[in-house]
Amino acid sequence: MAESEFPGWHGTTIIGVRKGGKVVIAGDGQVSLGQTVIKGTARKVRRLSPGGFDVVAGFAGSTADAFTLLERLETKLEATPGQLARASVELAKDWRTDKYLQKLEAMLIVTDGKDLFVITGAGDVLEPEHDVAAIGSGGNFALAAARGLMEGDLDAETVARKAMAIAADICVYTNGNLTVEEISQ
């Protein structure tokens, strides 16, 4: 089977919501190969603690690639303790310029409870304008839902859970089996 014919890995929705002094990152558990669900309980949201400094990260894309990026992020955080923005920019620079890292197919949402960033292989470190960031196949659905829910009295976790439920109802590559991590400022 030619690479262009290979169905490819699909599926994930990751959302980050900052509200009320807390940031929640939630991710679904579905991994698909073509039209087949391979696993429904994958854990795509992780808590990192390099040097006692807590960071929560969620990833979309290739799992092996994402783990490589998470390891690199931990190394950057160890070199710049307590400086998530700086570590994220350093990771994005390496990702864009290193020939090995350039081939990695994943995206990250990271937070330390204060900052919230999306990190991409294009060298981007993006901070969301409306305290909501989402990536993955159902990311746009979750993002739209969360932005609509942000105006109410719901807390960050409830906004994230409701937005993920809406994304799971719309995106066939997203399920309702969530991993949710919360971190405070």
User: Which residues are marked as active site?
Assistant: 12
The string of DSSP letters for the chain reads --GGGS--EE--EEEEEEETTEEEEEE---EEETTEEEES----EEEE-GGG--EEEEEEE-HHHHHHHHHHHHHHHHHSTT-HHHHHHHHHHHHHH-TTGGG--EEEEEE-SS-EEEE-TTS-EE--TTSEEEEETTHHHHHHHHHHHTTSS--HHHHHHHHHHHHHHH-TT--S--EEEEEE-
